[in-house]
């Protein structure tokens, strides 16, 4: 059975560091990498009637934009990489979705970048993705500074 | 020379200042008179009673429909209640569809269109005229109305139009045309056109003028009297900025704040009830006794019943068809699931929120009774119950809540303004959908409707309550006349969907995720 790592990737330098770190480890251990880009979304948010009507259209646009601006360039860049890389685009809460992905794909580790130094006020109140993952991840989770 | 100019200007401005209130009052009065005279015939037709009785045929029409749907679908509102909650929670939503409109979102949006002044002012009107007994009939109408809502929202999703660019348009006008054609029946198009006309009138009436009118009443209740057209122009300006100028931020803020105001409203009502816990039993006694005897209100039991049914229908809009427009945006493989979700709407709106308002008014003793007979005392005109402060409508609710918490009238004023605003935004959308169904989609055509909508905001705020509330009711009930005919014709289709879905749910073909 091949080992699989899940990497949370949003195009930021922090997430790039996490990806590079995961690729290194994957190459050394012969693992595959699943790069996941999560679009933040809650099914419990409130929308106006107009937003309701246009939601399907907007979703298509958002997915297309993420694919062309983020996933496609990354795929072509990693084509030459010795590590087999797969990508996925999902909607949902970032931490929860990464956990679910790790479970469903049988991954053995999650890698994620860390943006801040210790988190500002908002992170203290609402928690950060890295903090939530550290507490809830079903598999070992590496937070790359 | 300079001083002459100055003194002339001063004199002119002094004249303007003194003339302004008089001028404003005349504008209000003129709007009022014109409005009452031009809409009177329509109102009297919709509310005309059965010959020889005082019972309006339209109320019977709604109640009979709700009863028919309740029994035709085998008490679906009670059977499917737990499943509806599971659907809203997302238990049956495929995680791969995340990012699409969820059941919760469709329900929340439809609710913010219905939860509003009907729950605050409408209930006060019902209890003020029909007495506590009206509450009983209101709750009953809310429970029965759940079946009407179930029927119309299932059809709304089933027969919506999905356009190539991904946006959707649905509602009664679409199930009337497509559903009738599918069953090989004529007149679908005719019904759809009639519905659209009434929907536009309803959007301008209950969805707009009534809201502006009561928002103004609540503001004057807090800051003192001033001409209605001023509130109207301010409101119209903001509505214009949102629906014409595309200023989505205001709409978004409102959509987010309104649910919290709703929760705050219910919580405050519960606290007031707890503070008066020793009177809760008495209040329910009044509600049951009043429901069957009237306890002295004008029209007795029938008077209470009419008020209860009328205000419930106006508040939860079951059978009216408006919710079918809002719910049709959900992307689901099973139209019936949207029907299940929508049946929670009359429950939350009427059975929970409206009942809270009614209980607070009754329990805080706003309605004056005769200490000897225990019957309610009527006002001088003999049409409504005398209240402690002589208030009616939203001011009566405000007085009831303020009896326990003096500051609540300020919270209520903000709630009323936000509720009014979110209802207007929802109804501008419903009206626009009907408008584009009649005249076709196109920017100029849509702009014409939006401008008309804004003008009616000003008229609504300036007119007095009587003519506005009558017209609002009439227009919204006229939608129900046409919509319910279509529901009767198309209900076998809903039944097929329901049976197929329940079989698959039982067999495990439809399963829970996660």
According to the 3-state scheme, what is the secondary structure of B42-95?
A: HHHHHCCECCCCCCEHHHHHHHHHHHHHHHHCCCHHHHCHHHHHHHHHCCCCCH
Which residue range(s) make up the domain with B157?
28-86+117-366+373-507
Q: Which helix (H) or strand (E) holds B29?
A: helix B2-46
| Residue B402 counted as domain residue | yes
Which residue in B has a C-alpha nearest to residue A103's C-alpha? B514
Q: Which helix (H) or strand (E) holds A36?
A: strand A32-40
Q: How close, in Å, is residue A33 to chain B by CA atoms? A: 21
Residues of B in contact with A92 (CB under 8 A): 95, 98
- Distance in angstroms (rounded) separating the CA atoms of residues A8 and A112: 5
CA B297 to chain centre: 25
Beta-carbon separation of A53 and B108 below 8 A: no
Q: What is the pLDDT of residue B432?
A: 92
Q: What residues have CB less than 8 Å from B350, skipping those under 6 apart?
A: B138, B139, B141, B142, B145, B312, B315, B316
E strand intervals along B163-260: 168-169
| Residue B400 counted as domain residue | yes
Per-residue tokens: B53 = 């009785």
How would DSSP label each residue in A63-80?
A: HHHHIIIIIHHHHHHTTT
| Residue B321 counted as domain residue | yes
Instruction: Give the model confidence (pLDDT) of B220-272 as tens digits.
Output: 878 888 888 888 999 899 888 888 876 666 767 777 778 888 888 899 999 99
- Distance in angstroms (rounded) separating the CA atoms of residues B283 and B285: 5
Q: By three-state DSSP, how is residue B406 classified?
A: coil
| Residue B106 counted as domain residue | no
Instruction: Give the model confidence (pLDDT) of B464-488 as tens digits.
Output: 666 766 777 788 888 999 999 999 9
Beta-carbon separation of B99 and A91 below 8 A: yes
| Residue B333 counted as domain residue | yes
Are A35 and A10 contacting, i.e. CB atoms less than 8 angstroms apart?
Answer: no
- What CATH number does the domain located at A4-144 have? 3.40.50.620
- Distance in angstroms (rounded) separating the CA atoms of residues A74 and A96: 24
| Residue B388 counted as domain residue | yes
Total tally of structural domains belonging to chain B: 1
DSSP state of B296: G
What does each of the 145 residues of chain A score in pLDDT, given as a tens digit?
A: 578 999 999 888 888 999 999 999 999 988 899 999 999 888 888 888 878 888 888 888 999 999 999 899 988 888 888 889 999 999 988 888 999 998 988 888 999 888 765 556 666 666 678 878 888 888 998 888 8
Q: What is the pLDDT of residue B12?
A: 47
How would DSSP label each residue in A80-142?
A: T-SS-EEEEEEEE-HHHHHHHHHHHHT-SEEEEE--SSS--HHHHHH--HHHHHHHH-SS-EE
Which residue in A has a C-alpha nearest to residue B427's C-alpha? A49
Q: Is the CB of residue B326 less than 8 Å away from at least one CB of chain A?
A: yes
| Residue B205 counted as domain residue | yes
E strand intervals along B125-255: 161-162, 168-169
Q: What residues have CB less than 8 Å from A41, skipping those under 6 apart?
A: A91, A92, A93, B98, B99
Per-residue tokens: B101 = 């409109």
CATH at B326: 1.20.1740.10
Are B302 and B52 contacting, i.e. CB atoms less than 8 angstroms apart?
Answer: no
Q: What is the pLDDT of residue B3?
A: 44
Q: What is the pLDDT of residue B349?
A: 92
Q: What is the pLDDT of residue B144?
A: 93
How many beta carbons lie within 10 A of that of residue A114, not counting itself? 18
Per-residue tokens: B472 = 């609002």
Using alpha carbons only, give the angle B446, B452, B454 rounded to the nearest 5 degrees.
Answer: 105
Q: Which residue has the tokens 């994620």?
A: A112
> In a mutagenesis test of the A interface, which of B87, B96, B97, B101 is the best target, namely the one with the most A β-carbons within 10 Å?
B101
- Please state the domain extents for chain A: 4-144
Per-residue tokens: B181 = 């054609």
- Distance in angstroms (rounded) separating the CA atoms of residues A21 and A83: 12
Residue numbers in chain B where pLDDT is lower than 50 = 1-18
- Distance in angstroms (rounded) separating the CA atoms of residues B47 and B299: 15
| Residue B2 counted as domain residue | no
> In a mutagenesis test of the B interface, which of A36, A42, A50, A63 is the best target, namely the one with the most B β-carbons within 10 Å?
A50
């Amino acid at each position: 059975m091949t080992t699989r790592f899940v990497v949370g990737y949003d195009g930021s330098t922090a997430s790039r560091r996490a990806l590079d770190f995961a690729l290194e480890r994957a190459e050394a251990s012969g693992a595959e990498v699943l790069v996941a880009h999560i679009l933040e979304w809650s099914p419990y948010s409130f929308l106006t009637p107009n937003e309701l009507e246009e939601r399907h259209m907007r979703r298509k646009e958002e997915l297309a934009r993420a694919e062309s601006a983020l996933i496609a360039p990354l795929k072509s860049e990693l084509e030459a990489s010795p590590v087999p890389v797969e990508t996925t685009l999902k909607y949902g809460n970032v931490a929860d979705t990464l956990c679910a992905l790790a479970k469903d794909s049988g991954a053995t580790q999650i890698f994620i970048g860390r943006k801040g130094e210790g988190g500002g006020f908002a992170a203290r109140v609402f928690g950060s993705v890295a903090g939530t993952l550290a507490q809830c991840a079903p598999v070992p989770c590496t937070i790359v500074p | 020379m300079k001083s002459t100019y100055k003194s002339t200007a001063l004199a002119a401005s002094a004249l303007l200042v003194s003339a302004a209130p008089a001028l404003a009052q005349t504008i209000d009065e003129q709007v009022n008179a014109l409005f009452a005279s031009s809409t009177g015939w329509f109102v009297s037709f919709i509310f005309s009673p059965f010959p020889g009785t005082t019972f309006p045929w339209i109320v019977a029409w709604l109640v009979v429909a709700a009863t028919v749907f309740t029994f035709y679908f085998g008490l679906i509102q009670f059977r499917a209640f737990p499943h509806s909650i599971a659907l809203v929670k997302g238990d049956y939503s495929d995680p791969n569809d995340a990012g699409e409109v969820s059941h919760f979102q469709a329900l929340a949006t439809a609710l913010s269109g219905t939860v509003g002044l009907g729950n605050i002012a409408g209930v006060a009107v019902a209890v003020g005229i029909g007495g506590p007994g009206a509450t009983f009939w209101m709750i009953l109408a809310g429970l029965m109305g759940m079946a009407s809502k179930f029927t119309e929202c299932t059809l709304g999703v089933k027969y919506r139009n999905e356009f190539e660019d991904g946006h959707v348009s649905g509602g009664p006008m679409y199930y009337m045309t497509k559903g009738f054609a599918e069953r090989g029946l004529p007149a679908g198009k005719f019904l759809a056109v009639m519905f659209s006309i009434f929907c536009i009138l309803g959007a301008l009436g209950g969805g707009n003028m009534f809201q502006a009118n009561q928002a103004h009443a609540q503001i004057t209740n807090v800051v003192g009297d001033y001409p209605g057209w001023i509130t109207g122009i301010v409101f119209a300006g903001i509505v214009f900025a949102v629906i014409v100028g595309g200023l989505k931020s205001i709409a978004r803020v409102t959509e987010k704040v309104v649910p919290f105001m709703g929760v705050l409203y219910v919580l405050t009502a519960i606290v007031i009830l707890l503070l008066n816990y020793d009177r809760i039993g008495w209040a329910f006694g009044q509600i049951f006794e009043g429901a069957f005897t009237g306890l002295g209100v004008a029209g007795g039991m029938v008077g209470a019943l009419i008020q209860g049914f009328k205000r419930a229908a106006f508040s939860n809009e079951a059978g009216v068809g408006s919710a079918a427009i809002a719910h049709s945006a959900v992307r689901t493989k099973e139209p019936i699931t949207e029907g299940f979700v929508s049946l929670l709407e009359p429950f939350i709106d009427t059975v929970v929120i409206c009942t809270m308002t009614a209980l607070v008014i009754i329990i805080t003793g706003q309605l004056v009774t005769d200490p000897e007979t225990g019957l309610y005392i009527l006002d001088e005109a003999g049409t409504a119950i005398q209240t402690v402060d002589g208030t009616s409508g939203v001011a009566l609710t405000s007085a009831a809540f303020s009896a326990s918490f003096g500051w609540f009238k300020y919270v209520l004023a903000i709630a009323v303004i936000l509720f009014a605003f979110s209802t207007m935004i929802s109804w501008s959308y419903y009206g626009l959908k009907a408008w584009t169904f009649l005249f076709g989609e196109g920017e100029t055509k849509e702009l014409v409707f939006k401008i008309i909508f804004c003008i009616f905001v000003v008229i609504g705020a300036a007119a007095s309550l009587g003519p506005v509330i009558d017209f609002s009711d009439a227009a919204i009930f006229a939608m129900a006349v046409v919509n319910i005919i279509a529901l009767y014709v198309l209900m076998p289709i809903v039944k097929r969907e329901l049976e197929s879905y329940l079989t698959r749910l039982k067999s495990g073909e439809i399963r829970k995720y996660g």
